[in-house]
Structure 1
Amino acid sequence: MNIQAKNEMLCSQNINMISKAITHFAFRNGPIEDMHAHPNNQLSESDMKTLNKFMVNRIAYIFTLIIEERCLEFEFLVKTTDSMFGHGWDEAEPDDGDTRKILEMMLKRSRTN
């Protein structure tokens, strides 16, 4: 099932869907939404539209590199960015937002039905 999902998802026709979903999952469903929904409205609708578009476009580029196996360009992007920025940041801690738990529950239900 995992390989089938990979083959179905990782294709250029899905770049738009992937980019929007990842932006929503990794960016919009986090502190940025709290800033936007804050009573003082720290971010306007126009700000959010600009930020969302920027994120979707950048993520589309990254997934284009991955799908088209443009590994040299991907490596250059990652290593150049890493060497210049983020040194004071905390280590990455993968956070699935309970996605795996939800998927496992759905798979379990489908098997029992």
Structure 2
Amino acid sequence: MNGGWDDITKAELTELAKELTDRMIADKYGVTVGQVRYKRKKYGITMYDLACQAALQEGIVGRRNIKASAAKDWLLDRKHIDPLAKALTQYAFRSGPVENMHAEGRLTDEDMKILNQFMVNRLAGLLQKALDGAWEEIADVLDRYITFSRGWDSAIPDMTEFKEKF
């Protein structure tokens, strides 16, 4: 990685993207975040693929090796609360408008870290309560939040990724 931004290879950018955010890479090379995202797209380097590779290396994505009949048991295993909370955060929160806001510089890396950790912690707590069978407690908490969201648009279930086979 001795050259400048124009000389960076796919392998070099992949390694950088594993460790640094697009903003950090942009700062390192004196380019815009848009240029980093463009080059990642050009090289076919997606954050999803990088996250999957990292998860496989860490050994937290064991679901791929489990038959469908065991999926429920895998999802209900307490040792999977952490990776499930992180995956749910990525699925429902991070991989959408929030990521675009971050890439556009409207959220800092520190903002993203705080938001992601908040979401992961909240979802882990909800998963823990569900596994504890604390359904009445969950209903009480959610009922409170239903009150605050009465004026929102109706939900339109997004089933896009459920049709894909990974």
TM range (shorter): 0.7 to 0.9
Query: Kindly, what percent of the aligned residue pairs are identical?
Result: 37
Give TM-score scaled by structure 2 length: 0.57
Q: Structure 1: any 5+ residue segments left out of the alignment?
A: 107-113
Residue 95 of structure 1 corresponds to which residue in structure 2? 158
Matched, 1:23 2:85: no
Matched, 1:42 2:135: no
Of structures 1 and 2, the larger Rg is shown by: 2
Equivalent AA in structure 1 for residue 152 of structure 2: W
Larger RCO (alpha carbons 8 Å, 6+ apart): 1
Q: Structure 2: any 5+ residue segments left out of the alignment?
A: 1-66
RMSD over equivalenced CA pairs, Å: 1.4
1:6-85 alignment, distance < 5 Å: 6-38=72-104, 41-83=105-147, 85=148
Q: Tell me, in whole angstroms, the C-alpha distance in 2 between the residues paired with 1:66 and 1:90.
A: 27
Equivalent AA in structure 2 for residue 56 of structure 1: V
Q: How far did residue 99 of structure 1 move?
A: 2.0
Deviation by residue 1:31-63 (Cα, 9 ceiling, x = unmatched):
00010001xx11110000000000000011111
Q: How far did residue 66 of structure 1 move?
A: 1.2
Q: How far did residue 12 of structure 1 move?
A: 1.3
Give TM-score scaled by structure 1 length: 0.81
Q: How far did residue 3 of structure 1 move?
A: 4.8
